[in-house]
Structure 1
Amino acid sequence: MRTLMKGLIRYRLLVACLLGSMAANAQQLPKVASTSFRKDTLRITNYGAVAGGVELNTKAINAAIAACSKRGGGVVVIPEGLWATGPIVLQSNVNLHLQRNALLQFTADFDQYPLIKANWEGVEQMRNQSPISADNATNIAITGYGIIDGNGDAWRMVKKDKLTSSQWKRLVAGGGVLSIDEKTWYPTGKSRKGAQEKNPGFIQPDRNAEYYNSVKDFLRPNLLVFTGCKRILLEGITFQNSPAWCLHPLMCEDVTIRNIYVKNPWYAQNGDGIDLESCSRVQLDNSTFDVGDDGICIKSGRDEAGRKRGMPSQYIYINNCTVYHAHGGFVVGSEMSGGAKHIYVNNCTFIGTDIGLRFKTTRGRGGIVEHIYVNNVNMKDIVGEAILFDMYYAAVDPIPLTGEKREKPTVVTYPVTEATPQFQHFDIQNVVCDGAAKAIFVRGLPEMSIKDIRIKNTIIKANAGIDITAAENIDISNINLIIPAGNPVSHIVDSKNVKIERLQYPANVPALVKVSGALTKGIQLVKTDASKAQQVVIFEEGATTASFTQQ
């Protein structure tokens, strides 16, 4: 680690001017409009709310919110105490404020959550009403010092492989039902039935209310869903234990999020921290995520529905955030069919995430992800890749469970259509990673390369170096790879115009570059001392000496 820190100091001096340039670019982003509330205060106890966790306060809390909004807005206060409730709907000009030591606990009684038309993973579907929601509201906030608990344990299925033996026995003994292979626990029979159906929440003419009720418990709600809202503030609150995604601003504008803590069990399936979907002008600062799926995630709809919506996530600035357990620290995709652009990630720390920077998509999505800027990210104990671009996302956990086998995708070239996704114009610099399975992984499609990626000034300690397949115009410079000596430092397959410059590496590696595939050309190794390597380059699988130059 001492070597990493010395290198970090050197590199930060080298990139000072570049950082200033990126900061200037960030300052050109449209400003995020802020919220503003009247000082009028209403306490939920004035509307009949009772603390203690026994009585449901759904009517009292919603009545206080409605009254506050009707009189022009203000602050609705949830005092100290444990407050049990069903779904809450926030309305315009209301700041829902949780005082210190206030715990807002959503009920495990599924009957309190009616089935509604909602949006799940970028497609309109039937879902249970979210514990907290707002539709087309303006100037809304949730602030304070309290905790909002979604009671997600009552909703979630759990895989046996994600628990210890004693945890699994305790879970099964407490009720619920098992899958046929007894490897997954479901809280109810309806939940298991939904898991056995194909797209059970999809809205189809042949499905009636009776059908949706038969799978109701499987259609888990996101803890917080704001749809089509403008001027939002989330500040200071702990959001935890969500049934599915935790925070889901959807098609919203002018979103400010700061100083929040988002917490889910690591085994929480679909337990994302925050999913910003088709949102414009977002500021996310000084927040911490420790969850069961992706930590900070950018989305914009799925497949044809997302392309038809045509609303990219854009003008997003993420600063000073920490992500602990998660499938990815900062993530784009895979539902990115409306596109994502002009996103800045600065001064973040990822510790123990499956992947650090994760950009994922697949055929059928379409959409363009571009102009993504990442600067000054520190990582530690990354289970998989530190930096990953993958256009073969397969809707599975990024790290295989014990005994799980996965085959590499078959490489077949398809025609380019509107359903072909695109990744281009990424600028990643000043990244330090102390521990990963692989440093950098880039895998495009044979019909659509990943293009114009610049990775500069990085130090990565990993078990393997760089893998690049089906990519074009890749510039990796000032990179220090601390990897075992047994494998080539980089492997480049069917790619064009890849430059690796000022590479530092351990002594006695078998090769600095392995070049594969007849389509590969324009591979450059620049300003790199090759004397410590057994050989500079290896050619295989149709690659020729003409594809590589050393300068």
Structure 2
Amino acid sequence: MKRFPFFVISVGLLILSLSSASASPWDDMTQLANSIKHTSFPNKTFNIVKFGARENNPSIKNTKAINAAIVACNKKGGGIVLIPKGIFQTGPITLLSNVNLHLEKGAVLLFSTNPEEYLPTVITRWEGSDCMNYHPLIYAYKANNIAITGQGEINGQASFANWWAWNAKCSVGYKKGTSDGHLIGRARLLKLNEDNVPITQRQMGSGNYLRPQLINLILCNAVLIDSVKLRNSPFWVIHPLLSNDIIVSNVNIESLGPNGDGCDPESCKNVLIQNCSFNEGDDCIAIKSGRNNDGRHWNIPSENIIVRDCQMKAGHGGISVGSEISGGFKNLYVDHCEMSSPDLGTIIRLKSNTCRGGLIENVFVRDVKVGQCKEDVLKINLRYDPAEPSPRGFIPMVRNVNLKNVSCKRSDYGVSIDGLDDASRVSSIHLQNCDFTGVKFNGNDIQGANDVTLNNIRINNIIITNEQISTDYDPHP
């Protein structure tokens, strides 16, 4: 690939595009944060011990007791289902409307690693494809006004001795047009997606090795996840899907296994993620809206997502948009975050391909401090997963991406863009007042983009002011 260092730049103008007619996108962010609906619960408590739960006994599963407390709380108009101090073994939990699952300080929910306990299958989505799969460890479907709170710990107990070992087992490929009789896991589900098979016929339970999420909330409204510790998920940690008005605050998440994304809002609207810490085996935060046919069928973008005052350590990306983004995304605000780890790949990562398509627009990032990352501060990749066998011709687009006051002390590149032959598919990319030191390759790597402007950017102590890059993709580097 041809390299374009920072000094191969022609003089241009800095044009800052805003997501609305307001004075500042950050005013929009404040208004959005204030508009998100909050949860509210009656002052009634349902202690799981009174429903038969017993602590500190590995031979006792408290699944029935915890779910019975949730059902009782829901039937009586809502309130708090209390997990008191102690260690409680459990299987899958289903949240219902008007229930706050609250873990006292010192309370631990330890989830079973026996897959059979997570059957029968339920409606969910796995890597952007709709399916019937294992019951997530904590699950809600069409529930309103729900919460998971408290200073306790929710631990999926996943490791390479159990759930995480499935990552290799589910990865069996296929060639387009072949029968799915011999396929399992990812490949089988992707073909079911491609063939538009009804969701209820996409049974992905036993024998397919698709791991369940730690928390999966589908078609829910008014959600709060606050102050809990989340550990060792089989798959993604927090996965709200087709849901609105979500607040994730003061949560400490660590899950270093494969596909260990921290928080993945998918086709969700009005989401606030604040004061959280992430240490993940995959993206810390990944915004999605469905994969290929399924994403286009629903055609529900993710939109209006705020990430502020968060800390990111290990992860493929600090904040990613995609790659399952077929329904599109708009309006991301990243404010006052800190990111650093030798195991952190990219800071801001936008990705898709011509199978997935999707429009990504209006990304605003300011006041982000990075100690180190392995790859790039900003990475835009429209050639992600080039070997994907699904039909192509769905052209993605990224536009109006703005970074301001972002510093990084070590990376490969400042900006890396791998666009398409049509450079207009990546446009209006603007960086202002950024300081990138310790840049390994001494600049940027940009192909297939128009209107990339740098204003007062310092790369390895050399300042770029009011300069613009416009680079077509070079098919013969």
Q: What one-letter code is carried by the residue in structure 2 that aligns with 1:501?
A: T
Partner of 2:294: 305
Q: What one-letter code is carried by the residue in structure 1 that aligns with 2:221?
A: K
The 1:515/1:90 distance shift into structure 2, 3 A limit, reads closer
Partner of 2:432: 456
Which runs of no fewer than 5 residues in structure 2 stay unpaired? 1-15, 17-22, 173-181
Asked whether the equivalents of residues 376 and 411 of structure 2 are also in contact (C-alpha less than 8 Å), the reply is: yes
The alignment status of 1:43 with 2:47, answered yes or no, reads yes
The 1:159/1:55 distance shift into structure 2, 3 A limit, reads closer
Specify which of 353, 370, 381 is matched with residue 379 of structure 1: 370
Partner of 1:342: 331
2:411 match: secondary structure: coil
Matching of residues 158-169 of structure 1 within 5 Å: none
Asked whether the equivalents of residues 299 and 313 of structure 1 are also in contact (C-alpha less than 8 Å), the reply is: yes
2:264 match: secondary structure: strand
Find the structure with the greater CA-based Rg.
1
- Report deviation, 1:111: 1.1
Q: CA RMSD in A?
A: 3.3
Specify which of 396, 420, 428 is matched with residue 395 of structure 2: 420
Asked whether the equivalents of residues 170 and 185 of structure 2 are also in contact (C-alpha less than 8 Å), the reply is: no
1:29 match: secondary structure: helix
Asked whether the equivalents of residues 232 and 254 of structure 1 are also in contact (C-alpha less than 8 Å), the reply is: yes
The 1:515/1:235 distance shift into structure 2, 3 A limit, reads closer
Q: TM-score, normalised by structure 1?
A: 0.73
Query: Take 2:469 and 2:350, find their aligned partners in 1: how far apart are those partners?
Result: 24
Partner of 2:457: 479
The alignment status of 1:107 with 2:112, answered yes or no, reads yes
Q: Could you list the per-position Cα deviations for residues 369-390 of structure 1 after superposition, in whole angstroms to 9, with x for gaps in the alignment?
A: 1111111111112011111111
Partner of 2:144: 138
Q: What one-letter code is carried by the residue in structure 1 that aligns with 2:147?
A: A
The 1:107/1:264 distance shift into structure 2, 3 A limit, reads same
- Report deviation, 1:201: 9.1
Specify which of 403, 412, 415 is matched with residue 440 of structure 1: 415
Partner of 1:156: 164
Q: Could you list the per-position Cα deviations for residues 346-391 of structure 1 after superposition, in whole angstroms to 9, with x for gaps in the alignment?
A: 0011111111111111112122111111111111120111111110
- Report deviation, 1:451: 0.7
Q: Could you list the per-position Cα deviations for residues 46-82 of structure 1 after superposition, in whole angstroms to 9, with x for gaps in the alignment?
A: 0000111330000000000000010000001000111
Specify which of 243, 246, 249 is matched with residue 240 of structure 2: 249
Partner of 2:73: 68
Specify which of 375, 379, 383 is matched with residue 392 of structure 1: 383
Partner of 1:357: 348
Asked whether the equivalents of residues 265 and 286 of structure 2 are also in contact (C-alpha less than 8 Å), the reply is: yes
Query: Take 1:336 and 1:200, find their aligned partners in 2: how far apart are those partners?
Result: 15
- Deviates most, 34-43 or 335-344: 335-344
Asked whether the equivalents of residues 139 and 230 of structure 1 are also in contact (C-alpha less than 8 Å), the reply is: yes
Asked whether the equivalents of residues 307 and 366 of structure 1 are also in contact (C-alpha less than 8 Å), the reply is: no
Asked whether the equivalents of residues 200 and 215 of structure 1 are also in contact (C-alpha less than 8 Å), the reply is: no
The alignment status of 1:215 with 2:207, answered yes or no, reads yes
- Report deviation, 1:207: 12
Query: Take 1:258 and 1:378, find their aligned partners in 2: how far apart are those partners?
Result: 20
The 1:202/1:84 distance shift into structure 2, 3 A limit, reads farther
Query: Take 1:208 and 1:22, find their aligned partners in 2: how far apart are those partners?
Result: 42
Query: Take 1:269 and 1:242, find their aligned partners in 2: how far apart are those partners?
Result: 10
Asked whether the equivalents of residues 453 and 466 of structure 2 are also in contact (C-alpha less than 8 Å), the reply is: no
- Report deviation, 1:426: 1.1
Q: What one-letter code is carried by the residue in structure 1 that aligns with 2:436?
A: I
- Report deviation, 1:28: 3.8
Query: Take 2:366 and 2:198, find their aligned partners in 1: how far apart are those partners?
Result: 50
Query: Take 1:135 and 1:210, find their aligned partners in 2: how far apart are those partners?
Result: 18
Q: What one-letter code is carried by the residue in structure 2 that aligns with 1:253?
A: N
- Report deviation, 1:193: 8.4
Segments of 4+ moved more than 3 angstroms? 177-180, 192-214, 513-517
Higher RCO (C-alpha 8 Å, min separation 6): 2
Q: What one-letter code is carried by the residue in structure 2 that aligns with 1:459?
A: D
Query: Take 1:463 and 1:354, find their aligned partners in 2: how far apart are those partners?
Result: 14
- Report deviation, 1:196: 9.0
Q: What one-letter code is carried by the residue in structure 1 that aligns with 2:274?
A: D
The 1:121/1:477 distance shift into structure 2, 3 A limit, reads same
Q: State the identity as a percent.
A: 33
Corresponding residue pairs, total? 433
The 1:249/1:209 distance shift into structure 2, 3 A limit, reads closer
Query: Take 1:29 and 1:199, find their aligned partners in 2: how far apart are those partners?
Result: 36
Asked whether the equivalents of residues 194 and 200 of structure 1 are also in contact (C-alpha less than 8 Å), the reply is: no
Specify which of 83, 92, 97 is matched with residue 92 of structure 1: 97
Partner of 1:501: 465
Q: Could you list the per-position Cα deviations for residues 415-438 of structure 1 after superposition, in whole angstroms to 9, with x for gaps in the alignment?
A: 9x5x11110011111100010111
- Report deviation, 1:515: 9.2
Asked whether the equivalents of residues 170 and 186 of structure 2 are also in contact (C-alpha less than 8 Å), the reply is: no
Which runs of no fewer than 5 residues in structure 1 stay unpaired? 1-14, 161-176, 181-191, 397-408, 484-488, 491-499, 504-512, 521-539, 543-551
Q: TM-score, normalised by structure 2?
A: 0.83
Query: Take 1:147 and 1:123, find their aligned partners in 2: how far apart are those partners?
Result: 29
Query: Take 1:208 and 1:443, find their aligned partners in 2: how far apart are those partners?
Result: 38
Specify which of 59, 75, 79 is matched with residue 84 of structure 2: 79
The 1:197/1:480 distance shift into structure 2, 3 A limit, reads closer
- Report deviation, 1:123: 1.2
Partner of 2:311: 322
- Report deviation, 1:178: 13
Partner of 1:26: 29
Query: Take 1:375 and 1:229, find their aligned partners in 2: how far apart are those partners?
Result: 30
2:96 match: secondary structure: coil
Asked whether the equivalents of residues 131 and 200 of structure 2 are also in contact (C-alpha less than 8 Å), the reply is: no
Query: Take 1:443 and 1:61, find their aligned partners in 2: how far apart are those partners?
Result: 49
Query: Take 1:237 and 1:324, find their aligned partners in 2: how far apart are those partners?
Result: 18
Q: Could you list the per-position Cα deviations for residues 270-321 of structure 1 after superposition, in whole angstroms to 9, with x for gaps in the alignment?
A: 1100101011111111000001000011111111211221111111111100
Query: Take 2:230 and 2:459, find their aligned partners in 1: how far apart are those partners?
Result: 37
The 1:348/1:42 distance shift into structure 2, 3 A limit, reads same
Asked whether the equivalents of residues 124 and 202 of structure 1 are also in contact (C-alpha less than 8 Å), the reply is: no
